[in-house]
A and B are shown apart, each in its own frame.
Chain A
Amino acid sequence: MAIYVLTSNPNAIDFDHAGLQARVEAALGSMVALYRPLSFVEHSGFSETVREEIGLVLSNHAGDQPPLRLFDAFVQAWDLDAHLDRRVLDLSGGWRKFLGLALFMNRPLPARLLLDATSHLSDARIRTLLERAAEQSDAVFCEYDPQLLLALPADASAPGAPPLRRLHDDGTAVTEAIGSR
């Protein structure tokens, strides 16, 4: 399980998802599921509270693809217990995005390509995201500001972010940066 930080032309994040996804799949030799932020509309619209939203999503996973964590373990792993009884639409922008990311990361997938996943998240949220990503399949983060992720400071209260490997996209192929391991 590896976590990569992909540097690319920022326009690819907004306008070339399909091409970027294909290049990452070629580099990893694996299908990847794509995460794109939807400008804070990270909400099914079929529930009101965070508790209801999590329950709805977890109970609607396909039968042959159970979620990686069930309700209680999911809430604990993603630090969501303090927000369970709040309306999703009343969450701050950062927490609403984080909830959507957590639900995406809880799906069993062979690999993930996450576009602009970390903007609007604090270091604590990003660290949790990386720790959860490290437990699962490969995750590739493509950010407008990759340096922010690469320079994430260590935090004494957390066991440290997992090592990040660097990929580069030149528009034709994605390759691993020399010495990134």
Chain B
Amino acid sequence: MSLLRLDSVSFRYVARPESQGRDRAVLSDVSFELQAGESALVLGDNGSGKSTLGRLIGGLLRPTAGSISIGGEPLDRVPVRARPSRSIYVSQVSYLQFFRATLADEITLAAKQSGHPPPPEETIARFSLPSLETNPRDLTYPEMWRLQLLLLGGVFRPSVMFIDEIVAPGAPAQREALEFTLSQRHAQGRATLLAYQRPLDTRFHRVFRVDGGAVTAPESVLRGSFLT
């Protein structure tokens, strides 16, 4: 059974009546699935619908048609409080997902909220973060991205995680954090999607393209590679 399954999913943003604008269809009749442990790169131009797809998979938006299920369970039947264990949308706006005054407190909070133990020191080290006494808001933008990955991927450990873009993918620290996260989640049997504008050196099991409302898989399907 697939871990993530989208069946004929469509989504349109509804214009507000007073704006006299038109509804805007973003995704139309999208179907695909990911198996446990798989990763997917979601490619698309600005405004193609990558973030909308991520918010749908993260449960922040509901499809206007079709359904999304995780582990066979329809996502819209998962209570909000239980949703982070099923799927998480990793926002582009990193600081919206930070709440505490130090990195150590963020990790403690994530562990408490998720019910999982804090990650061991050797895991934290893979994310190349500064001192755990640093305020998250004093991190550089790439460091904030890595902290998000650590907290959401390494502590919350949702079954499905949609990462809405990577900052500075050419930087070694970014790449190591991403590849460590992908390999960890592969080993745990979890599925991970990453949206970006262009191909990356990092290998994924699948590559999808969002264009004109459709999600297609024109690129080769990669299996195995470093994710073993």
Contact = CB atoms under 8 A, between A and B. Distances in A.
A144 B24 CA distance: 34
B169 to A, nearest CB: 7
Nearest to A146: B170
A39 B95 contact: yes
Interface residues of B, number: 25
A98 B45 CA distance: 13
Q: Which of B47, B50, B169 has the most CB of A within 10 A?
A: B47
B165 A120 contact: yes
Contacts of B13: 90
Nearest to A12: B140
Interface string B184-228: 000000000000011000000000000000000000000000000
A52 B27 CA distance: 27
A124 B47 CA distance: 12
Contacts of A11: 140
Given A122-B198, A145-B168, A148-B170, A116 B47 contact: no
Q: Which of A49, A87, A119, A148 has the most CB of B within 10 A?
A: A119
A85 interface: yes
Contacts of B45: 122, 124
Interface in B75-103: 92-93, 95
A13 B21 CA distance: 39
Given A14-B140, A14-B141, A92-B51, A39 B93 contact: yes
B134 to A, nearest CB: 12
A92 B46 contact: yes
A94 B142 contact: no
A85 B142 contact: no
Contact of A123 (B24, B92, B169, B197): B197
A121 interface: yes
Given A92-B51, A93-B92, A123-B197, A10 B46 contact: no
Contacts of B93: 39-40, 93
Nearest to B16: A87
B131 interface: no
A18 interface: no
Given A85-B21, A120-B92, A145 B47 contact: no
Contacts of B1: none
Contacts of A94: 46-47, 197
A145 B171 contact: yes
A91 B19 contact: no
A124 B13 CA distance: 24
Nearest to A94: B46
B65 interface: no
Interface string A50-61: 000000000000
12 contacts: A13-B140, A13-B141, A14-B140, A39-B93, A87-B21, A90-B13, A93-B92, A94-B47, A95-B46, A119-B167, A120-B197, A122-B45
Given A14-B141, A40-B92, A93-B92, 15 more contacts: A10-B168, A11-B140, A14-B139, A39-B93, A48-B19, A86-B21, A87-B21, A90-B24, A92-B47, A94-B47, A95-B47, A119-B167, A119-B168, A122-B198, A123-B198
Interface of B: 13, 19, 21, 24, 45-48, 50-51, 92-93, 95, 139-142, 165, 167-171, 197-198
